[in-house]
């Protein structure tokens, strides 16, 4: 069930990458820490953070974010999608980036392409809820993006902006979710899947410029319950004047660059199981990344 991707800005921008490891904004060099044997966590610029639970099936409230993974009224602390009537959960679990999209019950487990108006953004470091009014199956409904980011950046969510939300999921024993929110001062891409783009779409079509993964050269394979796992680096196209260049982001890193549009890349994890694989029903690749364009970011 492929969806169509949105285009991004590919015009010339200057590069202003910071290099303070204590804030999580790092340069494109440096060693990558060993990949955890679970294949789901990596070492990087933070030692604690957040995991996410995906698309909630019910609930329209914009509150209920809790760093312990619970809400006051309902929900699960296990990290599984909430199907009991509460908002989606952002659970603490060793990651620096978390997100989930809250939709009305009738839109649960569906691919969605929605035309929306941004109503409000609420919250503060590190958790934010962005509320939209969207046409869902012919009815105007509330849809909420919840996210938590470390290190935190206050992105510009302009009330009244006309936005497009595209959510795509694929059935699998592992996470396969892709989210785009575009059209305002802030454009938001989130991938929690085994490929950078949904089936039938290239990463270049999905992100509007060239994005690809390559084996990390600074470290070898690490033990994994299903065999051995190799860390992957994400390469992201950008322009320095008239010259095309690439930003390389390693596991656990956050890179910020670009002017006048600030681009943040937060690579929570990217790795690949190497042959032979001893487990059944396991994704060969695991990718968890959030990319944000913020036109008012500098």
Question: What's the predicted TM-score (pTM) here?
Answer: 0.71
**pLDDT attached to residue 93:** 61
Alpha-carbon gap, residue 293 to 286, rounded angstroms: 23
Alpha-carbon gap, residue 195 to 213, rounded angstroms: 10
Alpha-carbon gap, residue 253 to 24, rounded angstroms: 7
Kindly state the tokens that stand for 121: 């953004």
Quote the mean pLDDT of the chain: 75
pLDDT tens digits for 35-91? 343 333 333 323 233 333 344 333 333 333 333 333 333 333 333 333 223 467 776
Q: Are 186 and 153 in contact (CB under 8 A)?
A: no
Kindly state the tokens that stand for 290: 């959030």
Distance of CA 286 to CAs 78, 225, 226, Å? Answer: 20, 14, 13
pLDDT tens digits for 123-171? 888 899 999 999 999 999 999 999 998 888 889 999 999 999 999 998 8
Average pLDDT over residues 175-199: 95
Q: In the chain, what percentage of residues exceed pLDDT 70? A: 69
Angle at 185 between CA 179 and CA 190, to 5 degrees: 15
Q: Strand, coil or helix: what is 207?
A: helix
């Amino acid at each position: 069930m492929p969806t169509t991707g949105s285009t991004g800005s590919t015009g010339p921008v200057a590069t202003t990458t910071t290099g303070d490891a204590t804030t999580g904004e790092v340069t494109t060099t440096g060693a990558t820490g060993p990949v955890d044997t679970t294949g789901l966590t990596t070492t990087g610029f933070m030692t604690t953070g957040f995991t996410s639970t995906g698309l909630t099936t019910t609930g329209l409230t914009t509150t209920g974010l809790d760093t312990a993974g619970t809400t006051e009224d309902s929900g699960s602390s296990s990290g599984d999608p909430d199907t009991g009537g509460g908002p989606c959960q952002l659970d603490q679990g060793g990651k620096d980036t978390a997100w989930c999209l809250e939709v009305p019950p009738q839109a649960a487990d569906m691919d969605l392409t929605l035309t929306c108006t941004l109503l409000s953004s609420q919250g503060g470091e590190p958790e934010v809820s962005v509320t939209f009014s969207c046409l869902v199956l012919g009815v105007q409904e509330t849809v909420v993006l919840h996210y938590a980011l470390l290190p935190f950046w206050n992105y510009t969510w302009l009330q009244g902006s006309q936005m497009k939300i595209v959510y795509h999921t694929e059935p699998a024993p592992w996470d396969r979710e892709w989210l785009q929110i575009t059209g305002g001062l802030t454009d938001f891409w989130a991938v929690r899947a085994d490929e950078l783009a949904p089936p039938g779409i290239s990463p270049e079509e999905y992100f509007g410029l060239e994005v690809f993964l390559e084996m990390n050269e600074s470290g070898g394979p690490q033990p994994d319950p299903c065999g051995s796992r190799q860390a992957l680096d994400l390469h992201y196209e950008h322009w320095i004047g008239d010259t095309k260049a690439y930003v390389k982001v390693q596991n656990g890193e956050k890179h910020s660059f670009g002017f006048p549009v600030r681009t943040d890349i937060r690579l929570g994890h990217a790795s690949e199981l190497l042959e032979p694989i001893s487990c059944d029903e396991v994704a060969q690749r695991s990718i968890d990344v959030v990319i944000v364009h913020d036109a008012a970011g500098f």
